Amino acid sequence: MAKLAKLSAIAAFAVVAALFGVALSASAGHVTPTVLSGNPSCEGGIKIEPVVSGTYDGVTITVHGSTFDFTTTGDTVVTSVIVKGGPNANLYTYNPAATSDTGLQAPANPKNDRPYGLSHLCFFTDEDDKGEPTDPKDPTTAPDPKNP
């Protein structure tokens, strides 16, 4: 009888863990970054410099030495993140957009294979995940007031 109770508890735990894992996969990013040379522009993004834990325009970051995690609040989703460190940067691109990710870092230093320190971050967000933000002054991307 005790063996049956133990098996039932293990099965229940496995079901809960599987459901929790499915929920996490819908919002977490975990993408492989692309290395960008030099110091890419942050125009149109949320620039964080110096890189310290906190909340910035709907994006909360938690720094762990040379890596960091992020989560979003409200309707904010992240479409990409630039992580600058050393002479280059890592670009993390999320498709679909993400509400969280962990372990983001700057490119690795080829002399020791460890990530460079975090110089600055740039988050590109979209509040409703409809693609690129629109420019209200540009007639080719501005929403049509007659047909919102």
pLDDT tens readout for residues 47-101: 999 999 999 999 999 999 999 999 999 999 999 999 999 999 999 999 999 999 9
pLDDT at site 148: 45
Task: Please give the model's pTM, rounded to 2 decimal places.
Answer: 0.69
Q: Are 42 and 93 in contact (CB under 8 A)?
A: no
CA 37 to chain centre: 20
Residues present in the chain in total:
148
Coil vs helix vs strand at 110: coil
pLDDT tens readout for residues 17-26: 333 443 333 3
The ranges assigned to domains in the chain are 31-126
Residue bearing the bigger pLDDT, 128 or 4: 128
pLDDT at site 13: 40
pLDDT at site 30: 87
